[in-house]
């Protein structure tokens, strides 16, 4: 049997980390089993639908490099793959169910249903839900209601006896008494639009879906779907409901924890490789120890057996760590192309960089690469070159255990050593040794000398190594900045 799986998002918001993980698992499972990955857009909820969400779906999948074998744009044998283009199909199948005696027309007005609901609440009735008022309407009664111009909905006849079992690969069998299933859900609305249940089940069947991998929050609707398959006389697919993605506090991952949409991560300078690698690991493992997987590897080695039963915790720090590792695996040229938009956006370089800008970047990228966690970090790490910010915070110069006086002395004498040695062409190792000696003389830690020097030259505590920074700026500019900082600190001392 060929594996056919689908990702079936509703375009009602930006692609969320949890949704994308579902997409990845389906995609990798399809690839690893030489099956088909299908994209289906479940856009029947027209109130929550937005064009932006649909565009975000396409751009997110394409950024991640996830291609679908069948679906919108590319088409396929079982299309269309956008539910709003399939209304006729759902209407026909809903009528079929009525003809088979598995569903029925209901003409109840919203007012009647509302009154019913209030009554059930008021009397704390054990029975909650639709009262099957229209279950046994005669043809005459129906004709009369139709004559009044009332448009009916179609409801599924949920059996009142017996039990229904959802077989889930991960969770095992989930069995519910049929009488506990909310009675007679609407399948087709009076305007001819299907509800989620009807469209989802019909499409999974018609599209030949073999495995349904989706978020665990769909488990409660599982029994209803199985009843619907039985009503049609169809075989349900194999279910595998995926454990939730949670924040560190054990709550479902949400805005409170940080970014949740792939778009935000992308804008913040996360690489697709890092996101794919890490997100896949939130709830899946190969052998419990391998951590690095390229997309191509996952396309080969992904297994359903590796999916965890317990919820996965999304750790932002861990993702950042992965991102740093992937950044360091890039060549300088690749990294340049990746960081360029951030630098152009900030106004640091031209979109067609000048020769001088290229010279700076060639020097800047290698040491920056070692320090970046996200692509965006390039802005902070390179600001000292492109933005000459005069000193304003004297505290920045003072390292732990030092004070203004000792830091000023370290900066004055350190600059003297630094620039005279550089002008003589001494190597950085010798100069470093002299600076370490100076620290000892001043009874300071090594950083007591290096911090004021680095801050003087870059005006930032997050910066590249001293010698790299000087090389990028040029000796004259670096010396000018050091002198300016000395003046600044003297003023503060005398203030
Ligand atoms: N449209 C549903 C969603 O967005 C699909 C659920 C399913 O995969 O069956 O979650
Ligand atoms: Zn009714």
- For residues 265 and 259, the answer to whether their CB atoms sit within 8 Å is yes
Q: In this structure, are strands 172-177 and 238-242 parallel, antiparallel, or unpaired? A: unpaired
Residue 141 CA, chain-centre distance (Å), reads 53
Among the listed residues 82, 62, 59, 81, the one whose alpha carbon sits nearest the alpha carbon of residue 70: 81
Do 94 and 167 have their domain in common? yes
The reported pLDDT for the residue numbered 416 is: 97
Residue at 129 is within a domain: yes
**CATH at 404:** 1.10.10.350
For 106-126, letters b (16+ CB in 10 Å) and e give bbbeeeeeeebeeeeeeeeee
Which residue, judged by its Cα, is nearest atom 4 of ligand 1? 9
In a domain, 302, yes or no: yes
Output the CA–CA distances (angstroms, integers) from residue 282 to 90, 279, 467, in the order listed.
Answer: 36, 5, 40
CA of 195 to the centre of ligand 1 (A): 12
- How far apart are the C-alpha atoms of 29 and 66, rounded to whole Å? 12
* Same domain, residue pair 97 and 238: yes
- Same-domain pairing of 368 and 412: no
In a domain, 445, yes or no: yes
In a shared domain, residues 193 and 178: yes
Whole-number Å distance, alpha carbon 110 to ligand 2 midpoint, is 10
Domain count across the chain: 4
Instruction: Give, using CA atoms, the residue closest to atom 3 of ligand 1.
Output: 9
Q: Which atom from ligand 1 is nearest to the alpha carbon of 7?
A: 8
Cα 270 off chain centre by:
10
- Give the structural domain span for 199: 86-242
CATH of the domain at 59: 3.40.50.620
Residues 14, 20, 26: CA angle, nearest 5 degrees = 140
Separation of CA 225 and ligand 2 centre (Å): 21
* Closest atom of ligand 1 to CA, residue 218: 6
**Location of structure tokens 């590897």:** 297
- Which residues line ligand 1 at a C-beta cut-off of 6 Å? 8-10, 42, 200, 214, 218
408 and 369 housed in the same domain: no
Q: Which ligand is nearest to the CA of 199?
A: 1
For residue 132, the CA-to-ligand 2 centroid distance in Å is 6
Alpha carbon distance 246, 476 (integer Å): 53
Rounded to the nearest angstrom, the distance between the alpha carbon of 95 and the centre of ligand 2 is 16
Residue 12 in any domain: the answer is yes
Q: Which residue's CA lies nearest to atom 5 of ligand 1?
A: 8
Annotated catalytic residue 255: yes
Ligand nearest to the CA of 215: 1
pLDDT score at 96: 98
Ligand 1 atom nearest residue 9's Cα: 4
CA atoms lying within 13 Å on the CB side of residue 385:
31
Span from the CA of 125 to the centroid of ligand 2 (angstroms): 19
- Same structural domain for residues 231 and 262? no
Does a structural domain hold residue 80?
no
* Residue 491 CB-density burial (10 A; 0-12 exposed, 13-18 middle, 19+ buried): exposed
Evaluate whether residue 81 is within a structural domain.
no
What atom in ligand 1 is closest to the CA of residue 217? 10
Looking at residue 491, its pLDDT comes to: 94
**Same domain flag for 255 and 373:** no
Quote the pLDDT of residue 462.
77
pTM of the model: 0.92
pLDDT in tens, 187-220: 999 999 999 999 999 999 999 999 999 999 999 9
Mark the ranges of the chain whose per-residue pLDDT is less than 50.
none
Ligand nearest to the CA of 38: 1
Same domain (yes/no): 151, 222: yes
Cα of 130 from ligand 1 centre, angstroms: 25
Nearest ligand to the C-alpha atom of residue 83: 1
Amino acid 463: pLDDT: 85
Position 129 scores a pLDDT of 85
- In this structure, the answer to whether residues 108 and 200 fall within a common structural domain is yes
> What is the Rg, in whole angstroms, of the alpha carbon atoms belonging to the chain?
32
In a domain, 78, yes or no: no
| CB neighbour list of residue 289: distance below 8 Å, 6 or more residues apart | none
Distance CA 230, CA 206 (A): 15
Q: Report CA 81 to chain centroid distance, whole Å.
A: 23
Structure tokens that stand for 406 in this block: 């000792």
- Shortest-distance Cα residue to atom 2 of ligand 1: 9
**Pairing, β 238-242 against β 211-215:** parallel
Domain-terminating residue out of 242, 276, 296: 242
Atom of ligand 1 at shortest range from CA of 214:
8
> Given 313, 348, 370, which residue is the final one in a domain?
313
Of the residues 195, 210, 242, the one at which a domain ends: 242
Q: Quick one: pLDDT at residue 75?
A: 98
Distance CA 77, CA 2 (A): 15
Same domain, 108 and 227: yes
Distance CA 344, CA 350 (A): 6
Q: Is there a domain that residue 319 lies in?
A: no
Is 352 in the same domain as 421?
no
- One domain, residues 346 and 357: yes
Which one of the listed residues 88, 255, 317, 400 is annotated catalytic? 255
| Secondary structure class of 190 (helix, strand, coil) | coil
């Amino acid at each position: 049997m060929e594996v056919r799986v689908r990702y079936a998002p509703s375009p009602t918001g930006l692609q969320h980390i949890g949704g994308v993980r579902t997409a990845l698992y389906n995609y990798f499972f399809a690839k690893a089993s030489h099956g088909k990955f299908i994209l289906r857009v479940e856009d029947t909820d027209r109130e929550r639908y937005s064009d932006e969400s649909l565009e975000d779906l396409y751009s997110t999948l394409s950024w991640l490099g996830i291609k679908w074998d069948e679906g919108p744009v590319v088409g396929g044998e079982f299309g269309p793959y956008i539910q709003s283009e399939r209304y006729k199909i759902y209407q026909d199948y809903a009528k079929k169910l009525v003809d088979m005696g598995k569903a029925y027309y209901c003409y109840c007005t919203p007012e009647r249903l509302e009154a019913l609901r209030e009554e059930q609440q008021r009397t704390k009735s054990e029975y909650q839900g639709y009262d099957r008022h229209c279950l046994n309407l005669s043809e005459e009664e129906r004709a009369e209601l139709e004559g009044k111009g009332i448009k009916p909905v179609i409801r599924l006849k949920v059996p009142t006896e017996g039990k229904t079992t959802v077989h889930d690969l991960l969770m095992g069998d989930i069995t519910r008494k049929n009488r506990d299933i909310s009675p007679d859900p609407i399948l087709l609305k009076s305007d001819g639009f299907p509800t989620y249940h009807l469209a989802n089940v019909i499409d999974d069947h018609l599209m030949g879906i073999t495995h349904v991998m989706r978020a665990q929050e769909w488990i409660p609707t599982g029994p209803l779907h199985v009843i619907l398959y039985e009503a049609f006389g169809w075989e349900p697919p194999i279910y595998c409901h995926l454990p939730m993605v949670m924040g560190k506090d054990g709550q479902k991952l949400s805005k409170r924890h940080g970014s949740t949409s792939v778009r935000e991560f992308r804008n913040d300078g996360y690489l697709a490789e890092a996101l794919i690698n890490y997100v896949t690991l939130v709830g899946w493992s190969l052998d419990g120890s391998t951590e690095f997987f390229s997309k191509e590897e996952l396309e080969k080695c992904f297994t359903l057996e590796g999916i965890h039963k317990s919820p996965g915790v999304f750790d932002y720090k861990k993702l950042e760590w992965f991102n740093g590792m992937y950044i360091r695996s890039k060549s300088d040229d690749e990294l340049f192309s990746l960081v360029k938009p951030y630098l152009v956006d900030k106004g640091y370089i031209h979109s067609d960089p000048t020769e001088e800008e290229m010279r700076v970047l060639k020097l800047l990228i290698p040491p920056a690469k070692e320090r970046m966690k996200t692509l965006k970090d390039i802005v902070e790490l390179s600001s000292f070159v492109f933005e000459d910010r005069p000193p304003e915070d004297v505290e920045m110069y003072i390292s732990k255990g030092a004070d203004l006086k000792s830091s000023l002395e370290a900066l004055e004498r350190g600059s003297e050593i630094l620039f005279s040695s550089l002008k003589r062409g001494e190597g950085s190792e010798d100069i470093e040794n002299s600076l370490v000696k100076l620290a000892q003389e001043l009874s300071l830690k090594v950083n007591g000398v290096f911090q004021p020097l680095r801050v003087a030259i870059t005006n930032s505590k997050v910066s590249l190594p001293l010698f790299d920074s000087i090389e990028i700026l040029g000796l004259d500019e670096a010396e000018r900045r050091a002198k300016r900082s000395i003046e600044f600190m003297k003023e503060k001392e005398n203030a």
